[in-house]
Structure 1
Amino acid sequence: MRIIEHTAGRVSAPGLYRMPAEVYHADPAPEPSLSSSIAKLLIDRSPEHAFHAHPRLSGPQEESDPTRPKEIGTAAHKLLLDQGRDLVVVEAEAWTSKDARAERAAAYAAGDCPILRPDLDKAEGIANGAFDRLAKIPGCEGFRAADAEIVAVARDRSGAWLRIMMDKVEITDQGAIIWDVKTGEQAAAPQGLGRRIEGMAMEVQAAFYVHVLGLLLPKLQGRILFRWVFIENDPPHAATVAEADGAGMHVGERKVALALHRWNAGLRRGTWPSYPAQIIRAEYPEWAARKWAEREELDPSVADVDWSLDKSPWRPLDMENAA
C-alpha cells in the first residue's frame, strides 16, 4: 500500500499517511477517531475522561511545560527515527537565563523542539548506543531503514474510525513489523518488562496497532508483529527488544474490544459517563492482605500484640475515677 503525503486537515479515506505530528494529534480522520491513548482511558478511567481528552470531542488540550528529561527523550526519539530536523539546539547549560528561555519559547512557538547542548549530547548517546545494540540483535536489521512516523487510518467493522502513528514500520508481502521506541529513566532489563508492560497497559497499544494495520492490510493479518525497543537514558544506554507473549496479546485484544464497545456507545448515545454515582466498597488487594498476615505470623516483634480491638462506644475518660 502506497504511503500518502498529507500536510493538513482531514484525510478522505482509510490508508497509510505521512503527516506532521500536530496534524495527527488533532485527529485527521473523516470522523472523530479512536486512538490507543483514548482507548486506555476508556478501559482504565471512564468514557468521560476519554471525551475530555479527545481533540475532536472536547477541543484541543492544554499541554504542560515539558521537563528536561522529557526533552531529552523527545530528542533521542527523533534521532532514533531519523526525524531530528526540527531540533533547535540552545547553547546553554540550563534554562535559567533569560536568553535561553526566550530561545526555548520561540522554538516551541514555531513548532520545533528546543534542546540544551548538554542534553543533545545525551540524546545522541542514547540514539547511537541503541543503533549499535540493535545492529547486533538478530531480526532487528531492518529497524534503521524502516519507514518512520507512519500514520494508519482505518475503519473497524463496527463502523468506528481508528488511527495510529507508528514509530517505524516494515511492510513486505510476507508480513509486517511495527516498531515502538520507549526511552526513559526506567531499566530496560528483560526480567522487569512484563510488569512494566502491564503497569502501563502497553498490551493495549500492541493489540490496537496490530488490529488497525490488519484492517488496512487484510492479507497480512496473522503476520503482523509489534515490537518495543526499550532504551535506558543513562549510560551505558542498554536496550532490549521485546514482543508481547500470547497471554499479553490476548488480554490486549480483549481490552481493545472493550474500548471499542464504549467508544461506539458514547458516539451513538452522545453521553460519556464518568465513575459510578454511588458509594462503592474499595477492594483491598489480596496480595497486601496476605503480606500483612505473613507478618503477623512470622515477625517476632509483634508476637505479643493483642489483636482484638475494644468495640465499645467511645466516651471521655473519667480522670478522677481513673486516678
Structure 2
Amino acid sequence: MKDRRKFIKISAAMGLGAFLPLQFCSQKKEEQTTQETLISPEEGTLASFGIQLWSVKDNMFEDHVKTIKSLASYGYNQIEGFNAGKGIFWGMKNTEFKTLMDDNGLDFISSHTNTFENLERQAAEAGEIGMKYLINPYVGPQKSMDDFKRLADDFNKQGEICKQNGIRFAYHNHGYTFEELEGQIPQEYLMENTDPDLVDFELDLYWVHTAGHDPLEWLAKYPNRFPLGHVKDKDGSVDRTEPNGSTVIGTGVLDFSTMLKTGRDNGMKYFIVEQERYVDIEPMKAAEKNASYLKSLVF
C-alpha cells in the first residue's frame, strides 16, 4: 500500500490526477439480481469472486490482454479495475474492453478511479457497458473532521451523478478513516452522513484489521452498506500496524471463513482479491494461489 500511496501522489503526471475526496455512482439496489451475489448460501462457498487489477499492475502494464486471459483461467470471473495512465479501459473503448471481458467469461463490475475529474463522462461510459460501481479508492488523511464533513457532501453529490447513469458510487477505506480524529471516527461519520440510496462502501478487511478494528463489528453495525469487500490477508510475521504487510490469502492471520460468512449475512455481494506485497512469489502466481484458496474455501 506504500507503493500505492506513492503512485497516487505521482498519478497526475500519468493523467490520473491527485486522489482527493472522490465519489461514485450507483444502480438501484432492487435492480441488482440474485445472480450477482458472490456467495452461494446453500453451499457455504463462493459462487464467484473477483480480483483488483492493482494486484497484478506490472503484468497489466506489460500486456493487459494476456494478463486478463490468465486471470480468467485461474478461476476469477469478476474484475475490478483501477485508473492509471491508460484509464480504466486500458486505452480501449469501453465497449471494446467489455468485449474482452465477455470473451473471457469475466464481468467488469467496478473500478477505482478519480471521481473528482470527469465524473459525468466516466459514469456514462461505465453505465453504457453495465458496470455496477465506480469506487473512490483514496482521499488521504484529513486535517479535521470538517474536511470529512465536506467529503460526505461530495460523496452524496457524486453518488447522484452515478445514479443518473445507472451505476453506484462507493468509497474504499484505508486505515486513516478508522483512526480517531477530534474525538470521532471518520468512517462512522461517513457511514452515517451519506445517503444509502447514493453511497455504498467497499470494506477493505485488511485495512480495518491494520487500524485495530474488528471487521465483523463493522459489518454487523452497518448491514447492507458494504456490498463490496476486499479480501486481503495480513502476514502474521509483521506488526499488525504495518501498512505494507499483505500476503497470499490463507497464509496470514485473517479468518476469511468467518468474515465472508458475516459479510454475506450482512449484504456483501462482491468479494475482490487484493494483494500488494510479494515475498518469494510472483504476482501472477500469487493471484493463482489466491483464486485456488477462494475456490476451496467453505464456511
The answer, yes or no, to whether TM exceeds 0.5 is no
TM-score (norm 1): 0.25
The two structures have a TM-score, normalised by structure 2, of 0.26
Query: Whose RCO is larger (CA < 8 A, sep 6+)?
Result: 2
- Structure showing greater radius of gyration is 1
